[in-house]
Chain A
Amino acid sequence: MNTTTRLAAGLPDAVHETQHAFRAALDALARPGQIRRIGAPLPGVALGGAMARLLLTLCDDETPVWLQSGDPALQSWLRFHTGATLADSPMLAGFAIMTEIGRAPALADFAVGTAAAPEFSSTLLIELPALEGGPALDWSGPGIEVMQGVRLQGLPADFWTQWQANQASFPQGVDIIFTCDEHAIGLPRTTQVGRTGGV
């Protein structure tokens, strides 16, 4: 009789490792476009190291999590270690976890908060194939001195059009943390994105 399907372990030293990951996530959002290291992958968890650690750091019983993948092992892992509930739809998500951005809902489908309470918006954690080597884009805005060149890989063609709309709806809108394996890049709703050398 084995009702538990190989539940993977959490962080061995939860206090210090979540503090480290939280600080890195804070830095990533304060300095949009700069790559931060979050930490090594966790054994038995079907997520990159950065994504898994951010989930354990950010989620608790007050943050409904929307998972793009329906992997039951992942769901029970998340619920066991964080106590987070699973959101039924993206609109209800405190955090949305996406591992296949090409097949993900549009940014407008997530919670954007209200004008009076813009903090009630979803934060999107998106796993990408690579944080470097993609099409060159210039990011600018708060936290960036002049321009920050970023070359994210694997985003769908209309993603940045959606982002323009998201950015324009400030103070409402979603914030994004892109992850790849052990690293992360923050994209807060204040950041403007344009093609390098024009537009």
Chain B
Amino acid sequence: MTSNTSTQYFSERQAWLAVLARASRIELEAKLELANESLLTLQRVRPAEVGMLMLRGRVGGTGNPFNLGEASVVRCAVRLGNGPLGVAYALGRDKRRAELAAVFDALLQDPQHHDDLQSKLIEPLATAQSQARDQLQGEVATSKVEFFTLVRGDA
């Protein structure tokens, strides 16, 4: 495998992991039927566990990093049968949600299930998530204030 296709693979996986990380438990639970038979061989390599992580930010997006605060996060790693390892990280403390996301990650890495899940799970979720984001941005944009420094006339 060349490095080019492997980079592409990782960015694809990053994309679906990002969608899974933002999906709610209800959304994931509703699609569990897509995974049905594989669940019989579920092995919890790292059972879902809750921890903390430090969120860091930069002032204005470019300044020095500072610690914004801590957030609870849940993570999980599973394997279905002899398949690849599925992992998940999600904000919050919902262990079931992380487990479901890890199951879907494992299945998405499996060529047999990939296309099916990509079209029935990831794409609808990604569309819904970007719509929600656009809507929120639209709502917030109306209250945006721009600051200008006016040159004084006597300068």
Does A80 interact with chain B (Cβ within 8 Å)? yes
Q: Which of B19-27, B30-38, B44-52, B59-67 contacts A (4 or more CB under 8 A)?
A: B44-52
Which residue of the partner chain A has the closest CB to B13? A1
Expressed in whole angstroms, the minimum distance between the Cβ of A18 and any Cβ of chain B is 12
Return the CB mask of A57-101 against B: 1 if under 8 Å, else 0. 000000000000000000000001100000000000000000000
Chain B residues bordering chain A, tally (CB within 8 A): 14
How many chain A residues touch B (Cβ–Cβ < 8 Å)? 13
Judge whether B85 is part of the interface by a CB distance below 8 angstroms: yes
Measured in the bound complex, the distance between the Cα atoms of B82 and A6 in whole Å is: 8
What chain B residues lie within 8 Å of A136 (beta carbons)?
Answer: none
Contact A9 B45, beta carbon cutoff 8 Å:
yes
Total A-B pairs, Cβ < 8 A:
28
Q: CB < 8 Å: which of A7, A12, A14, A81 contacts B85? A: A7
Tell me whether chain B's interface is mostly helix, strand or loop, or mixed.
strand
Find chain A residues with CB under 8 A from B79 CB. Answer: 7
| Cβ–Cβ contact A4 & B84, under 8 A | yes
Complex contacts, B82 vs chain A, CB 8 Å: 6
A161 at interface by CB-CB < 8 Å: no
Q: Which residues of B contact A (CB under 8 A)?
A: 1, 9, 43-47, 49, 77, 79, 82, 84-85, 109
Q: List 17 A-B contacts (CB under 8 A).
A: A1-B1, A1-B9, A1-B84, A1-B109, A2-B84, A3-B84, A4-B84, A4-B85, A7-B45, A7-B79, A7-B85, A9-B43, A9-B45, A10-B45, A80-B45, A80-B46, A81-B46
| Interface positions of A (Cβ within 8 A of B) | 1-4, 6-10, 12, 14, 80-81
